[in-house]
Each structure stands twice: as C-alpha cells, then as structure tokens.
Structure 1
C-alpha cells in the first residue's frame, strides 16, 4: 500500500542525501471540472515528453500474462481493500472506490542474498485520500519516490535511479536500513498541481509498448518486468553501490499507465535564451544561445523568428534541445519557437512560444566585509559591444544601486551596516539576471 507520509519523521532518518538537479518532469494536469467516474480527481497528467496518462481505473486485463483466481492480471494498478474497495464490483465513488489509484507506477527490485541486499524501488503519480478512505473533499495527489533496502553493513550507499541519485550514510546494517519515501504534491480541495513540482517524470515506458487491450492503450504491462525508456538522465535502471564492492543493478521494471485520448499542445518549456557579442580586431562576433525542454525526436523544435529558420538539436533522448545562431540581434527582441510532436503523438498540436532574448549576467564577486560593513559586487554582461546598465538588489528586493564601469565588467561598493544580505541579485537593462550568496569576510 502506498500511503502518503503524514509527517517528515515517518521517513527513516538518514544523513547526506544528494540529488541530481531537478528536471522538467511533468508539464500539465487536468484543470477540471472533475467527475465522479474519476472520484473527482484530475483526469490526466501530461509529462514533458508529451505523453498524457489518464487516472488508471479500467479493469482491462493483460493478454500477455494470465491472471490467477481472485487476482486478475489488470493493466492498471488496482489494489483491493476489504471494506473499502471490492475489485470484483463496479467502481463507484465513494461507495466502492480504490483508496489508492494511480496515473503512473514503476517498480523494480534487486535481491542478492549472498551480498545481503534486498532493494525495492517504487515511483508513482498517485491519487489518494487525506483520511485514507474515499471521502469527497479529501482527494490528494502526489509524486512519489520510495526506496527501501536491507543492507549488510554500515557505510555509504549510492542509489542511482531513473529520476535521480540518492546517497545514504547508513549507521548500521539491517532490515530497511535505507527507508526513504519522498512525496511531493498532496494539497487537496481540488488542487492537483502539486505533483507537477515533483521529481517523477517524464513517464517511464516499456521499450516493447505501447500495449493495446481492446480500445485502450498502455505504456507498459505491470504484470511483466521489462526494460524501459524515458529517464530524463538516461539512467533507465536502478543501481546500488556500497561497502565491500557492492555494485548491483537492474534494468527491469513493472510499469502501469493508461494513455489518454485527450488532445493537448506539445510541451515547450524555456530554459535559457541569451545572446553575447564582442568586437575583436575590428570584427563583430555575435551569438544567440537557445535552450528549451520539449519532447525528444521524432519531435521537432524550430526557431522561426529568423530567416532561414533554425532547427534545434536534441542529442540523447532526454528532451533537452539547443541551437546557436550567429546573427547579431537588435535588442530588445523576442525569439519565436515552435515545437511539433505530432509524429510520436498524433493528437499533439503545434506549440508556439515567444521568448525574450536577454544578455547573460554573471556575478563574479559578492563579498561583505564584516569589519567595515562594505558590500563589494563585481558583475559582467555578455554584451561587450553595447554594455547595458546593471542594477543590484538584495535577495529581499532592497535596491542597492547601479554598478559602475564603462565596459562589460561593472562594480559596486556600498555600505550595509550592521546586517549583511544573504543574497544579492544583479539585473541588466537588457533583461539578464544573476543571483549569488554573499560571502562574508573579516
């Protein structure tokens, strides 16, 4: 049973957890209105690769794996709960409705009795109820990563999985010496947007799918263990490394998720659109750098605001696209990009985004001298030919003033006694911005 964690202390205490930086995981959620057939949950979630999954409540069964008496080989993860949900009866909210349902699940296991390792890995986009039983108004959703491991000895264990890397300092071996559950979302009262901020996504999917059962299509068959694709880091596996040369991995997952028929625009998420220019030996050197997240090929992303159009490149199937233009921009300007995922998902419509082109601001020094109360800032702009004005603020928005200097590198020295700022931000008149923690010196 995948219960929401009611309090941070319910997670086993561990020291030193390290994650890969957050990625674009999910793109959109059904905004409503919601209906009783879905228990008044959001009908679907869409990931950053453009795949949309419905709340998986169908009782379609696998044509690849035979079920057992009393245990049908459902294509959805439907968990009977005595007195709450009887899977042999029609689903009806709230009288016979799962206390846990899922838009997506992916599970894997590593067992090596000789090495003393028993690992279970589970990730999901889950629908549940705050009081654990179907009650109107108690609906919540969350993105979950759960890792539980029996380990033989104390030490540092590194677990790599499709959505990140976790480092655990384990004080003693034993059953569930590693016990992590990370739920992001929860909320309630009809708000299902919290799971968009989680680290689950894009949806993993079977390399052998999609599977069709009747008129319904699925990204995997939870009754099978299969290789998958879709990790944003190309880590389509679970691996554990630990003391004594422990290094075990699996590439096999059981996956559930029902592909939706809803037609949605192709995801297109801006990351960075910046320019730089300089003059060297009388020659102007200019470039524009465009970074976006969108579905990987066969999708296409194109910069259409220049002639000829410029196609962005995606190298490794993670959905990170890039292009560089050598045109000298007229600032301020807006770049126009399109993303088309209709080859992979015919119902996806073309998305067009207007993105401001800005300079790239870099803070190279942010020091506060405790003895004098002086804050010293040094920052630069990537526009060396026509350097724009740079303005500094504290992290809470208090104006510090303009940086001075005729070139691309500018400075500011100002008195801020007796309390130093924790952070500073420098913004450019051409739209660029950078923020840094302030270094405290004697």
Structure 2
C-alpha cells in the first residue's frame, strides 16, 4: 500500500488513504465505442479476471420486483428510465460499470456513515453529448460524527484517517475521483482505488433484459444489502473507529455490475523472476517466480529456464509463488502461464516470458562528512557467476566494495546494478 494525504478545507479534515501500489483495475475496452453504449468504453476488467459492461440494462430484480439490476438514475428532461435508452436523446447523465455502497447508522453513538465505491460514466459538461464522455473511479466517505477527534475508516479498497475539528453533519466529507481526463480517454480509471470489483457472495444473479430478451448475469443486486467478496486486502467490510473506543462495522453492501460476455485474457502481472547460484558456500541453485493473477480457482504455473514445468501456489488475494531448484546456467528466462476459465467462463489463458535476474543486496551504504567518502558494499545472489556490480552514477564495485570521494554533498540513496539485471536501492547512512 501507499500513503496519500489530502486536505479538505471545508470540512477541516486531513485524510490519509492507504491504497494499492498497483492499478486496481487491469484493462479497459480499447475498441471503438458504439452509439448503443453512449460512446463509452464497453467494459472494464479487474485483476481477478471479472469484466463488467457499462450497466445500461433495464432488467429488473426478481427478488425486489419493480427495481432495476443496474443503477439507472432518472433525470427529468434528460433520461426517462421507462423508455428505451437512446444516445443522446434519452441517455442517463450518470451510468456505472460498478457500484458497491454501504451504510452505518447508529443512534447510540450518533454515527451516520455513507460509503460509496464506483466506476462511473459521466459527461464533462454534465449532460449527454458527443465527444464529452469521461470515466472515473470513485471512493466517497461521508460521516456525521458527534465528537471531535481522529476517525479511521477501513473499507474494501483501503484505509482513510480523518481529523475532525468541527463535529456535526457530514463532518467527514471526502470524495476521491481518479481518472477524469480528456473526453473519450477511459484509461485514467485504471489507476483509481476501485478494484477488484466487489461481488455478492450469493451471486451471480440472472435476469432477463426486457429490451433484448437476453438473460444477463449480474455480480449483485443493488436493491439488497449482502455480504461481498473481492477486496484486494481481504477487508470486505466498512469499519469506523474513533474517540472513546468507538468501533462500528458493517459487512452488508448494495452491489451492481453486469458481467460481460466478452472473452478476455486472464490477468497476469509479473512481480519478480530471480535466480541464485552458490549462496551460503554451497552449490544451491534456485529460480523464484512471483506473479499477481486471479486467486485459486484459477491456476498459475511456470516453465523454468531449464524447461521444467513448475506449479505455483496462490493466495485468496491473488498473489502466486513458485520455485524451481534447477540451475538456470546464467540469467535465462522463464515462461509463466495463468488460466482463470474455471472461474470466469470464456476467460482465455495468458502466457508471458520474463527474464531471470539475480538478487542484489546492499549490505552497507555510508557517507563520511569528515572526508566526503562514500562506501558501498553489496553482493549478488549469483555467487557462481560473480556478475559485475556498479553503483549507479558513481562507479564499479571491486570485490563487492566501492570507496569513492563524492562532493560536494552526500547522495541521499544509492542504487547498485548487476550486469545480470538485478538491482537494489538503499538510503545512505550519514556519518560525522
């Protein structure tokens, strides 16, 4: 996770969010948008392999009759939900690929919390118009609080901390929209906080679209509140903690999203492919592979640099690891595969080749103010090949060590790069 901070002056709140270090969504449709879709991207795919279409279906819930499975918001003079959707004459000014909302109301404590997560379609000028389409990923937290102090809200997509100096209605009022850019460019939402998509533990649900007669699949029913799965951190809840031991939590969400029927490659992100030879004074060799892919139910494997297939182990959050004990004979490369078709029907297997690199470890990085001397010591995990090591921008290590005068000021940090591709960066310790 990374930490970000924003100040909301109106509410006198300092918000600190803990967010994923990688894009939460994996891909967006790059085909030319169609009029039937309001010229928006047809779908977004998350890192667990689920793809959601822009939810414009007028299919209704069989559990709560008379209510839509998509979040369609009537707007007088703009969008009449009782009539067929047509762009731009009868098209919603807001539509969604995904929504996941929750609420906490507690009379005893005075807490009234609204939580919104969404991937939204809208128009830069607010009304449906050609060449004005934008999309964004939204996290919204609004809380009425009775007491000043620090409040922590943990939710499926991170943790936000707020300092409230003026309690009252919506004393916490944060909206974080990421992705709004040039109209017609839908890539920005991939960098937002939302994803993987939350899904009802009771879904998917099937309902008929009255306009097409087709049966469609939905990740949840927004007319119900249900427990969900899908949080990248395993926090499938909203919890608020605050002064005086306050701690309230809900695991019930209203979720909407229409599963796409498009066949897409299984998401696969390579985190690390490294090797070692001859460490600990022995002939030990190994190849280590780390990837992000859909969690078990799906599968991941790799073929090592010697051609041996190796099964990988995965976590419920989608982190996978595998090791081969074969000597790669040098850097080499591995071939990695992931297949999620057992979970998402129609999902296509994905294969990637990734170069093996050694692991560089900096054991010492010091700078003496007395003589302007920089000292760096580092080793490579390839003790057999002994690849050359270089301090980036400074010079080569000899026998695993560099000593060099650097003026006029010390470097804040150093990076050591191996001839076989590995690297390590460390802060420099400043000595008198």
Is TM (by shorter chain) over 0.5?
Answer: yes
Contact 1:375–1:416 (8 Å) recurs in 2: no
SS in 1 for 2:14: coil
Stretch deviating more after TM superposition (221-230 or 356-365): 356-365
Classify 1:9/1:241 alpha carbon distance in 2 versus 1 (closer, same or farther; 3 Å).
closer
Superposed, which structure 2 residues align to 1:143-182 within 5 Å?
143-182=137-176
- Whole-angstrom distance in 2 between the partners of 1:413 and 1:82: 73
TM-superposed deviation, 1:20: 4.8
> Shift in Å at residue 150 of structure 1?
1.2
Decide whether the 8 Å contact of 1:390 with 1:410 is kept in 2.
no
- Matched-pair contact (CA < 8 Å) for 2:114–2:142: yes
CA distance in 2, matches of 1:165, 1:175: 21
Q: Counterpart of 2:262?
A: 262
Aligned residues: 420
Aligned-pair CA distance for 1:411 = 3.1
2:139, 2:175 → 1: CA distance?
6
Aligned equivalent of 1:413, options 404, 407, 415: 404
In 2 relative to 1, CA 325–217 (structure 1 residues): closer, same or farther, beyond 3 Å? same
Residue among 130, 135, 140 paired with 1:136: 130
Deviation of 1:375 (Å): 4.0
The match for 1:312 is: 312
Distance 1:18 1:308, change over 3 A: same
For the residues of structure 2 that align with 1:129 and 1:375, how far apart are their CA atoms? 55
Residue 298 (str. 1) matches residue 289 (str. 2): no
Work out whether residues 11 and 181 of structure 1, in 8 Å CA contact, stay in contact via their aligned partners in 2. no
What is the aligned-residue RMSD (CA, Å)?
Answer: 2.2
> Does the residue aligned with 2:189 lie in a helix, a strand or coil?
helix
User: Structure 2-normalised TM-score?
Assistant: 0.91
Q: Which moved more, 1:232-241 or 1:270-279?
A: 270-279
> Residues 12 and 369 (structure 1 numbering): CA distance in 2 closer, same or farther, change over 3 Å?
farther
Gaps of 5+ in 2: 1-5, 209-214
Could you say which residue in structure 1 is the equivalent of 2:334? 335
Deviation at 1:363, TM superposition (A): 3.4
Q: CA distance change for structure 1 residues 378 and 179 in 2, over 3 Å: closer, same or farther?
A: farther
- SS of residue matched to 1:160: strand
1:26-425 correspondence to structure 2 within 5 Å: 26-67=25-66, 73-214=67-208, 215-280=215-280, 283-305=282-304, 306=306, 308-315=308-315, 317-368=316-367, 373-393=372-392, 399-405=393-399, 409-418=400-409, 420-425=410-415
What whole-Å deviation, never above 9, does each CA across 1:92-141 have from its counterpart, x for those lacking one?
A: 22222111111011000111111111111110111111222222222111
Moved more, 210-219 or 374-383: 374-383
Contact 1:84 1:133 in 2 (8 A): yes
